[in-house]
Amino acid sequence: MDVTSFGIDHDRLLRGIYVSRKDTVENGVLTTFDIRMKEPNREMVLDTSVMHTIEHLMATFFRGHKQWADKTIYIGPMGCRTGMYAIFKGDLSSEDVLDIITKCYEYMENFEEEIPAAKSHMCGNYLDHNLGITKIECSKFLEEVLYQMKKENMEYPIQKN
Ligand SMILES: [Zn+2]
């Protein structure tokens, strides 16, 4: 299935976990997930400092995880500031990653330590972080979306012509 050719209807897109694309590379398939934390154009977007902190914490969580470290290719923020991208090895579905992404948001919601790699020699804008609001945003996403996932939070709405 060529998911990249579908026209996603952002006017009807909800918060959730969606398969953004699948790419076949030499040794298998890579799945890119759209972790959508805000409804596009209908909700306030995430602050850049919050997206930055989520990027550092999410990368730390996956790169340090026993089962997922080897599968994790990339974690990064969306330019529109409504969510994050995560690329994993394997031909995966939203159901396959729901549990681990929920655990990642619980890790971020409960994070109390110093933000990893938020030092001038390790980060391009190390002062631009906000752990307090990050924890609130993660808690909201868990309660309102991840703990009550429905089909429409895992399947893209397609544009009607
Ligand atoms: Zn950084």
Identify residues whose C-beta is under 5 A from ligand 1, the ion.
123
Mean pLDDT of 1-12: 73
Q: Give pLDDT, residue 83.
A: 98
Structure tokens at 59: 């990368």
Q: Residue 117, CB half-sphere, CA atoms under 13 Å: how many?
A: 14
Residue 28 belongs to a domain: yes
- Classify residue 49: in a domain, yes or no: yes
At residue 27 the predicted structure's pLDDT band, cuts being 50, 70 and 90, is confident
Strand partners, 86: 33, 75
Handedness of CA 94, 99, 104, 108 (dihedral sign): positive
For residue 70, is it within any domain? Answer: yes
d(CA 47, CA 160): 31
pLDDT above 70 for 4: no
In a domain, 159, yes or no: no
CATH number at residue 62: 3.30.1360.80
Q: What is the number of domains present in the chain?
A: 1
User: Do residues 32 and 18 touch, judged by C-beta distance below 8 A?
Assistant: no
Asked whether residue 76 is domain-assigned, the answer is yes
CA of 11 relative to ligand 1 center, distance in Å: 31
The helix or strand, by DSSP H or E, that contains position 95, with its residue range, turns out to be: helix 94-109
Model pLDDT, residue 3:
54
Q: Is residue 155 in a domain? A: no
Please indicate whether residue 28 or residue 160 has the higher confidence score (pLDDT): 28
Q: 34 alpha carbon to ligand 1 midpoint, in Å?
A: 20
Identity of residue 48: T
- Give the mean pLDDT of 36-61: 98
Tell me, yes or no, whether 160 lies in a domain. no
**Percent helix, strand and coil across the chain, each to the nearest 5:** 35, 20, 45
Residue 119's domain comprises 3-148
Give domain status of residue 156, yes or no. Answer: no
**Contact in structure between 31 and 3 (CB atoms under 8 Å):** no
Token code pair at residue 141? 């996403």
Q: Give distance in angstroms: CA of 127 to centre of ligand 1.
A: 9
pLDDT at 100 over 70: yes
Portion of the chain with pLDDT greater than 90, in percent: 93
Dist. CA 124 → ligand 1 center (Å): 6
Mean pLDDT, the chain, integer: 95
* Whether the predicted pLDDT of 85 surpasses 70: yes
